[in-house]
Chain A
């Protein structure tokens, strides 16, 4: 088991290294001169040359990559051309804001998806099941930016009960001390309940817009697996032993049905990160994704590489987590290292 975990981590490190090469190549084939682009057309050629030297843009590609990699190991991702600050400083500032949204979104997605799946299974063939299935289809086929636009319309103009821009209200002071960088948690740690409520009200809409598609997908998958497993002998046997319907649904049917959906949900959370690129922009929310998007649109190569590497890291963490959860839930994986079926 230990050997297996180590091999897997090795593969993930390789993936990360490969990703860095890929991103490096993509970032360096940008037509035009990033240094010139950063400084604008009015600056003298000499200044541009200096910046080029500073950024090692005058060296061969392989050397450039090695410089970049060496820096990356020490968390030095170079300077952003837009903000003029080290990319890692930007990431430290913006990542927690995005994490805050994504975590809340993932929480909604997992709980909502599983619950809807269970309810749909319980009422298979009844009207409630039908409604949930139609709504899931709707959720699956609408991109999150549509929900974001719709929420802007609904809450920004028609029913202004929730704020639609920024992290906190203008009248609210930022947390007095930044601990995790996630405002909700920082406010809570400092006992500032008003701040906490304000921060959470600001992230609800983006979080919901981001998770609707994933939730619909999770609901559909959970329902599919549960309905399929419902016909299995062991569920009928448990029914025959007098297990009540709810206990059956939430315990004996849910556990085996959930295992195959874990991996899919992990990928859905990764997709939430991706979709945050647009949704943060629409809600004018100062997170990593909005930063990444503006880096991409402005060809800010160091920032692009930094953001993409963070996303790669997130992907790997999610994969490891989902592997662990599957092993925890499935004794066949835990004890044998494979599924029987």
Chain B
């Protein structure tokens, strides 16, 4: 893209533009990004954008209890008169905290373990790491998280911790698979021959070639972590009342079906929307980072 003759200087702006072009080829990924951005904004700025920002706590307003969707309360109110929309906005905070927290912990840990196990495949600790992953992968992540979560005190942080226990092995397996094939590539071999240090080979030669797949998986996983988190809070493990959590709102509201349908249906839609957002976005990230032009 640079004029010929100039020293090839990396034009970051141009690279970003190219990435954006590939991402935006599929209109649905842009929609996904839009959903995620919007949800992020309303959750971060909940005190500013929510019509009743204080309704997240132990507020009681029996005069306005059990109101269906109306001009004052767009998504209705719950059994003690709190605005559902304001509560959903706040509950999204927990969802994002969960997603980002779990991925921030498991992606680096899992990938590094997987890369090491892949690069030194055959050594005892590689076998050890991979057998450990097999064991953790033998249970559906939901059950493992439920198991860990149930023995700890139910808080948002403990759910997050439980999800981390369930989530790291997926990245270990992914990075392991990629590294075992990459370590025989010419450029890795030549770096070895030139006497490059192991950290250099792992982080400068192998890692950059794994980031595409890892990032794609991480984007999609944001959705799945939030979904699993909602499932945990559905059985009461997670953010505790009076603070709202998406799953808790659905399970509490379900008791009042069908008359007060808005109590459970809107939080349910809220879960679907954010998971859909990350899924659509994940497809775009895949298009963006896969090598094809």
User: Nearest-CB distance from B259 to chain A (Å)?
Assistant: 9
Which among B138, B150, B250 is the interface contact of A145 at CB below 8 angstroms?
B250
**Is A196 an interface residue when CB atoms closer than 8 A count as contact?**
no
Closest residue of B by beta carbon distance from A272: B140
Which among A15, A146, A275 is the interface contact of B268 at CB below 8 angstroms?
A146
User: In the complex, A29→B136 CA distance in Å?
Assistant: 18
Interface size class of B (residues with CB under 8 A): 35 or more
User: In the complex, A299→B138 CA distance in Å?
Assistant: 22
Q: Is the CB of B146 within 8 A of A149?
A: no
Q: Is the CB of A274 within 8 A of B143?
A: yes
**Is B134 an interface residue when CB atoms closer than 8 A count as contact?**
yes
Q: Is the CB of A311 within 8 A of B136?
A: no
**Is A271 an interface residue when CB atoms closer than 8 A count as contact?**
yes
User: In the complex, A281→B257 CA distance in Å?
Assistant: 16
Contact residues in A for B257 (Cβ distance below 8 Å): 149, 152-153, 156-157
Q: Is the CB of A311 within 8 A of B143?
A: yes
User: In the complex, A304→B148 CA distance in Å?
Assistant: 11
Interface size class of A (residues with CB under 8 A): 35 or more
Residues of A144-195 at the interface with B, using a CB-CB cut-off of 8 Å, are 145-146, 149-150, 152-153, 156-158
Q: A153-B257, A153-B261, A316-B138 are in contact. Are A140 and B231 (CB under 8 A)?
A: no
Q: A138-B272, A145-B234, A299-B151 are in contact. Are A11 and B134 (CB under 8 A)?
A: yes
Tell me if B's interface is mostly helix, strand, loop or mixed: helix
Which A positions have Cβ atoms within 8 angstroms of B?
Answer: 11, 14-16, 18-19, 22-23, 26-27, 29-31, 137-138, 140-143, 145-146, 149-150, 152-153, 156-158, 270-271, 273-275, 277-278, 281-282, 293, 296-297, 299, 304, 308, 311-312, 315-316
Which B positions have Cβ atoms within 8 angstroms of A?
Answer: 131-132, 134-136, 138-143, 146-148, 150-153, 223, 227, 230-231, 234-236, 247, 250-251, 254, 257-258, 261, 264, 268, 271-272, 275-276, 279-280
Q: List 18 A-B contacts (CB under 8 A).
A: A26-B151, A31-B151, A138-B272, A141-B276, A142-B271, A142-B272, A142-B275, A145-B231, A145-B250, A146-B272, A152-B257, A273-B140, A273-B143, A274-B140, A275-B231, A277-B142, A277-B235, A299-B151
